[in-house]
Amino acid sequence: DAKTTQPNSMESNEEEPVHLPCNHSTISGTDYIHWYRQLPSQGPEYVIHGLTSNVNNRMASLAIAEDRKSSTLILHRATLRDAAVYYCIPYYGGSQGNLIFGKGTKLSVKP
């Protein structure tokens, strides 16, 4: 499994953009990069995923480096509800289908 490195914590102001980095230098060529987040007292929830090109959805954008050794999750305008632990997960799937959650980045959003 690819090893990921994320900052332990980050802070943001409400309504400002947030860039959450992730290094995954050992990622295989077939691993997708998934991001999940876990709000306080809730189960993890899917945010976004991609393989090589940048991806956008209603929640966030995902910028993937050309060499795929790093990626950045972008929240365009942070809200208080975005305060959560964000997990970057290289994921191929396999028959077991288990997501390998690291420690993630705890994002705090200040009003």
Partner 1 sequence: EAQVTQNPRYLITVTGKKLTVTCSQNMNHEYMSWYRQDPGLGLRQIYYSMNVEVTDKGDVPEGYKVSRKEKRNFPLILESPSPNQTSLYFCASSPTRSGPPRTDTQYFGPGTRLTVL
Long-range pairs for 49-58: beta carbons < 8 A, 24 or more residues apart: 49/91
Q: What's the rounded Cα separation, in Å, for the pair 22 and 104?
A: 9
Return the range that interacts with partner 1 (CB under 8 A); candidates 4-12, 60-68, 75-83, 101-109.
101-109
Query: b or e along 73-103 (b: 16 or more beta carbons within 10 Å of the residue's beta carbon)?
Result: bebeebeeebbbbbbbbbbeeeeeeeeeeee
| Residue 80 interacting with partner 1 (CB under 8 A) | no
What's the DSSP call for residue 30? T
| Residue 40 interacting with partner 1 (CB under 8 A) | no
Sign of CA dihedral 74, 55, 72, 85: positive
| Residue 44 interacting with partner 1 (CB under 8 A) | yes
Return the range that interacts with partner 1 (CB under 8 A); candidates 13-21, 61-69, 73-81, 100-108.
100-108
| Residue 35 interacting with partner 1 (CB under 8 A) | no
| Residue 5 interacting with partner 1 (CB under 8 A) | no
| Residue 46 interacting with partner 1 (CB under 8 A) | yes
Residues in the site for partner 1, rule: CB under 8 A?
A: 30-32, 36, 41-46, 49, 91-99, 101-103
